[in-house]
Amino acid sequence: MASNSEVGHAKNLANLKLLKDLIAQVGAPYAPSNALLTVASVTTLIATCQADYNNWTAKLILFKDESDKREIAFEPIGKLVTEINSSVQQLNEPQQTFNDIQALVSKIHGADNRIKKSIASKQVDPSIPIDPSNPTPLPVDPISTAQLSYDSLLKNFDLLIQRLQTITAYAPNEVDIQIATLTALFTTLTTLNLNAGSATNTLNLARNQRNLSFYAPATGLYDITIKIKKYLKSNKITKGAIYKTATQLKFVKIVQKKKKKKAK
């Protein structure tokens, strides 16, 4: 199911096409002095918005695919490190060894919990259509928080493996917690994390470009439609039925609340 924001962007673009058709039908009487409002300029804007929208949706699909692969692969880590910790605890090792392993396992559990919260919050897209006349603050995109948590989990998982390698007595019969298996898993998780991170960066670039064509001040789709409606209202020929038809085409400015910097 498409998110509210995906529907909102697509609806904006669809309505711009309808608005362009409307002003094109007016013919010669539609003659705004602002060159950005001409039928030719709006036609170009539609092509730009369509290309940027298509690029964003393609990158969004890629991101979701890579993100899902990473989530699936990382999901068992919490239980896995708990099993490792239990396996170490039953050995005849100094208390400091137990403490070292427990500390790393706790850090991994902490990162794992943050990841799960980020995944849960991502189920509802933070970029939802809002009424420009009554804007409501929107939640911060959780992607960056999740990425940092994955990086932290991987770092501590690597340290855990290194610490296990120093414990001579650590030689479990369970294949899934043997050092060779854990090393191979770490390599796989690292690759998946890099792929998801790259897809995130690509998505962010595509989203920024889409926002420019759709919502940039003065030149974006949203502002252009406002100016077109104002021109139609000011024109003696178009301020009647044509203007009324134009006002029935609704546009929304889809924004995100920026994360506030903490005071130092």
Rounded to whole angstroms, how far apart are CA atoms 210 and 224?
15
Q: So what's the pLDDT on residue 129?
A: 40
Q: So what's the pLDDT on residue 140?
A: 33
Average pLDDT by stretches of 10, the chain with 264 residues: 64 96 96 97 98 95 94 94 96 95 94 82 47 33 68 95 96 96 97 95 94 95 97 94 96 70 46
Q: So what's the pLDDT on residue 121?
A: 67
Rounded to whole angstroms, how far apart are CA atoms 27 and 50?
24
Q: Are 149 and 115 in contact (CB under 8 A)?
A: yes
Q: Are 189 and 71 in contact (CB under 8 A)?
A: no
Q: Are 128 and 159 in contact (CB under 8 A)?
A: no
Which residues 6+ apart lie within 8 Å of 110 measured at CB? none
Q: Are 12 and 251 in contact (CB under 8 A)?
A: yes
Q: So what's the pLDDT on residue 254?
A: 85
Q: Are 158 and 186 in contact (CB under 8 A)?
A: yes
Q: So what's the pLDDT on residue 144?
A: 61
Q: Are 13 and 53 in contact (CB under 8 A)?
A: yes
The rounded Cα 143 to chain-centroid distance in angstroms is 6
21-29 contact pairs (CB < 8 A, 24+): 22/242, 22/245, 22/246, 22/249, 23/228, 23/232, 26/237, 26/238, 26/242, 29/235, 29/237, 29/238
Rounded to whole angstroms, how far apart are CA atoms 158 and 114?
18
Of the candidates 246, 256, 165, the one whose C-alpha atom is nearest the C-alpha of residue 215 is 256
Beta-carbon-side half-sphere exposure of residue 56 (alpha carbons within 13 Å): 21
